[in-house]
Chains A and B, each alone.
Chain A
């Protein structure tokens, strides 16, 4: 079983950690090649209509999506750091500044890869808005689970 954690390390950040049963070079490929990105970036309901990805320092990317209701949206940004174990890029939703900064770290351990994605938003309001528009439905209802998700602020 793979584990998946989503936490809020600070007011302006979201951190996701997920383990994949594959070596790092394959996870890197699936995160770089447009044809592979198209197959998973949309989740189950959204169609990925276009992916351009020039994944090198200073290079830019563009991802276009189609919702089941016919509406569309896109993400764009540029890469500031690209290596086997780390990718840093900006992210603009529908071209609207200011951008978020996304830092992805990949650690390989005995054939498995732990991917950490830290998203830094320009403000708390934008961070909250991004989470609120987090597509699909499926809601759990336990405060214990919430406590586990929230950062320990003591």
Chain B
């Protein structure tokens, strides 16, 4: 669990920077070389390299050397973990709110009955 939380925090920290989030969004459509990423997002080479380094350390992207180019691709695993993490939280609250729905139905019925009794 501890290790799990740490890796989650790493993923979040990496994604919390707007330009890094944009890089991840861009790579969803497929692998791209470094210069292409920079051009599309309007970032210079050192900026892109800096962000890619953080994303790589977080395990969010992997790099492959193709001819003269370094091509970056998205790694699904940390993102799936992150999604699962939010889903668990969401699931717990969904359970709570579903139970609350039941309580509210009862309150509504009780209120309707009281109103009817008053109007009689």
Binding site for B on A (CB under 8 A): 2, 4, 6, 8, 11, 14, 16, 18, 20-22, 26-27, 29-30, 36, 39-45, 124-125, 128-132, 134-143, 145-147, 149-150, 153-154
Contacts and interface: CB of A to CB of B under 8 A. Distances in A.
Given A128-B5, A129-B5, A137 B88 contact: yes
Nearest to A27: B104
Nearest to B28: A143
User: Nearest 6 pairs between A and B by C-beta?
Assistant: A134-B89, A40-B99, A139-B84, A43-B95, A22-B104, A146-B83
24 contacts: A6-B90, A6-B93, A18-B97, A20-B104, A26-B104, A30-B104, A39-B99, A40-B102, A40-B103, A128-B5, A128-B9, A134-B88, A134-B89, A136-B95, A137-B88, A137-B91, A139-B88, A140-B83, A141-B84, A146-B82, A147-B28, A149-B83, A154-B18, A154-B21
Interface residues of B, number: 43
**Most A CB atoms within 10 A — which of B76, B79, B88?**
B88
A118 to B, nearest CB: 13
Given A40-B99, A125-B9, A131-B86, A136 B79 contact: no
